[in-house]
Amino acid sequence: MVIDYQQEMFDQIRSETPAELVDLNIRFLIRTAKAFGMPIVLSTVGVELGVNGPTKSSILAELPGMREIDRSSMNAWEDEAFREAVRATGRKRLLVGALFTEICLAFPTVEMLRDGYDVAFPADAVGGLSQIAHATAIQRLVQAGAVPTTALAFGTELFRDWKSPVADKARELVKGYLSDLPGVTSPHVEGA
């Protein structure tokens, strides 16, 4: 689930992962999901109301032709179209990313857990309005039963072994990610 990765939200991130790294991490997760044939649900808040703009262009570029489910509710799970899109995936294990951690990630994740979904979230691909807001939301999510992970950990957990049948695809994704990290030159990927 890719929820509310809109420019207005990126402009307000004040937690430890800088906005440009949140952007990189969610794009890596989208690329990973696409490479492994995982369904993606994309949602925005307040676009039709004129409150916010669409999904940030760098992220939309990774999802050509994908329909954004625009909502008025801060809690994506309260939106019928969003719930139906999630249910239509047929998946019970979800990876949910959203801006802000304390609102657009925490609210739907807690309800998804209550509705029987297993939910993980990429702690380095989300951000909050402040460090305390972000950290408090992380605690809330973990206490509710959501599993924290990171973008790279999630990606590597999918293939687990450099000798696996999907290792070449994974190697390409990881190399691209590492080369895009700020301040990194000539990444070395074990097994590459």
In a domain, 66, yes or no: yes
Indicate whether 139 pLDDT > 90: yes
Q: pTM for the complete prediction?
A: 0.92
Number of domains observed in the structure of the chain:
1
In a domain, 107, yes or no: yes
Per the residue annotation, which of 22, 104, 152, 174 is the catalytic one? 104
In a domain, 113, yes or no: yes
Domain of residue 48: give its range. Answer: 2-151
In a domain, 54, yes or no: yes
In a domain, 160, yes or no: no
Per-residue H/E/C for the chain: CEECCEHHHHCCCCCCCCHHHHHHHHHHHHHHHHHCCCCCCEEEECCCCCCCCCECHHHHCCCCCCCEEEECCCCHHHCHHHHHHHHHCCCCEEECEEECHHHHHHHHHHHHHHCCCEEEEECCCCECCCHHHHHHHHHHHHHHCCEEECHHHHHHHHHCCCCCCCHHHHHHHHHHHHHHCCCCCCCCCCCC
pLDDT, average across residues 177-187: 76
118 confidence band (pLDDT: 50, 70, 90): very high
In a domain, 162, yes or no: no
In a domain, 179, yes or no: no
In a domain, 75, yes or no: yes
Look at residue 183 in the predicted model and tell me its pLDDT: 75
104 is catalytic: yes
CATH number at residue 138: 3.40.50.850
